[in-house]
Homo-oligomer: A and B are copies of this chain.
Amino acid sequence: MDGSKVAVTFQPQGKHVRVPKGTTIREASARAGIVLDYPCGGQGTCGKCRVRVVENVLPPHEKERSALRPHELDAGLRLACQSAIQESTVIEIPETSLLASTYKILADAQDENIIVTDPPVHKRYIELTKPSLEDTAPDLDRVRRAYGRFDADLDMLRSLPRRLRETNFAGTAVVSDGQLIDFEPGNTERECFAAAFDIGTTTLVGSLIDLTSGAERATTSRMNPQTSHGDDVLSRILHARDDQDGLAHLHDAVVNAVNEMIGELVTQAGTRLERVYEVTFAGNTTMQHMLLSISPNALGEVPFVSAMGPAVEAAASQFGVRIHPRGRGYVFPVIGGFVGGDTIAGMLATGLANYNTPTLFIDIGTNGEIVLINEGKLLAASCAAGPAFEGARIGHGMRAAVGAIEEVRLNDRIDYATIGDAKPVGICGSALIDLAAELLRTGIVMSQGMLLTPDLLPSDIPEDIRRRIRPNEAGGEFVLVDAHETQTGAPIVLTQRDIRELQLATGAIRAGIAILLRNGGVAPEALDRVLVAGAFGNYIRCENAQRMGLLPSQVDRARIQFVGNTSLTGARLVATSLRARELAEDLRRRTQHIDLACDPNFQMEFAEAMFFPEVV
């Protein structure tokens, strides 16, 4: 059998595998334990999984021809998701093709420490009177007498007699949600943890909270590995619907990642899994369905119906999450359609319901969520911004990893900054906004999104800028970094098509804001405050986001506030407070879902919002 196999060596990892002829590079790299990034789900369209085939290069496939440039193809670059291996070979994996190896994720909540007032888990060391002829009370009653009221399920009841006798009737009772879940030997009152997670379409962030103090004891983050099945929620919903094991794949992917992250959290904090009694999750509707292994099929077609509504509270083990064996999981309630738990978490974290002037909450992620409060009334909408701001669908777009250009300024020349001060590799979201805004400001891009040809440019454009505009049949491109300055030796450009992608992403959010404001009877200039949430939010320049139309230009910059990862903050709140869970349910009931797809004005708003604002 081995005769039909070929040898593959991956560099710089130095991994070596033997695979059958015809195996894709994707499959071979997976077998070597190397996880590449497939934002498009392995369709061969995004070009993110590029690798260099060093030996025995085969001719490129058609999809590779469109995703890669001729000089890249000549240099041996191929797409791991498309190319099969026919001969023994050596393959180089660029850092930028690896999944989240150096992903820069904002894992900050607004407040590092939360005051724990009414946690869902209580621990108390108790010494019981031992049974005697004078005191033959049942085991369960004996513990209750010392601890106070609780219930115990059948499993606990089965193990209680042994536990009590092993500990000689002294130990720490652990009560979660009114249920006795453990009786631990010795006094372990000080070791009581909860984990809180933000389950984003693109990013997972976890936090470990000490329930005795509220202190955050560890944080971790990584890419959502579901990204390999598509970079937006819709492609994942379709995968869940159309592939027999699709939902299982997606569920397993996120749950395995969560379990690994919990492992990292407890290691960082110097504790162990069995001391984590509670885990909470905030995510958008689709992510929460997949986390819980609930079919999202009805979210994949008109009228986009969510299966879940109220918060789900269940044994964490019931959806595969490993904490204490009897630990509980909490997943945020869903308002409706795509307006999910992360939105409620954001409202909770910002105290949005308490704002008594017209206030807008915007969470910019792969899905954009928008909430308006006006005169105590809450309206919420979700818009499919797509992953453009996360670098996908943009020719040289990339995530905020080392080598990503994160800031751009146009003066006489171009100034830019990269993450890690590395030689540039691509452009991440905040720099895309900068660049779009600067191109609009200088008049190089017109409000309808057209990149002007050099002959049509305003006369005051400096020469170093002017030379960067290269017309071609596809509408031209703007050279942000010349070939000799980049890691790859190829220039980094923004194409006319990239600008269209940015228009789509921005337009979706702008249209959503416009419709929400109209439904709430609030004129844009009447907005008193805008709260911008999301990992991405903290890195963008407000004036540029306003100039390109992502944030309403009518609001004074001083009234725009970046509030960080409110999804995680909300998850931390419900991990530490039962009252917060009541508030979450209250927010769910109070918030009216505005389904943009259903709004008769949406298509027109969207078409209008596709234009960038006129230069002011």
Contacts and interface: CB of A to CB of B under 8 A. Distances in A.
A295 B140 contact: no
A138 B314 contact: no
Contact of A141 (B153, B162, B292, B309): B309
A289 to B, nearest CB: 9
Interface string A293-330: 11101100011111111101010001100000000000
A134 B153 CA distance: 42
Interface string A142-156: 001000000101110
A153 B155 CA distance: 18
Contacts of A140: 307-310
A135 to B, nearest CB: 8
B307 A593 contact: no
B133 A598 contact: yes
Interface in A254-273: none
Contact of A138 (B139, B297, B308, B319): B308
B133 A302 contact: yes
Given A134-B598, A318-B154, A139 B295 contact: no
Interface residues on A, range: 35 or more
A211 to B, nearest CB: 24
A294 B144 CA distance: 18
A139 B298 contact: yes
A157 interface: yes
A459 interface: no
Nearest to A285: B138
Interface of A: 131-141, 144, 151, 153-155, 157-158, 160-162, 165, 292-295, 297-298, 302-310, 312, 314, 318-319, 334, 336-337, 593, 595, 597-598
8 contacts: A134-B598, A136-B304, A139-B305, A139-B309, A140-B308, A154-B312, A154-B314, A154-B319
**What are the 6 tightest A-B residue pairs by CB atom distance, in nearest-first order?**
A138-B309, A141-B309, A138-B306, A133-B598, A154-B314, A161-B307
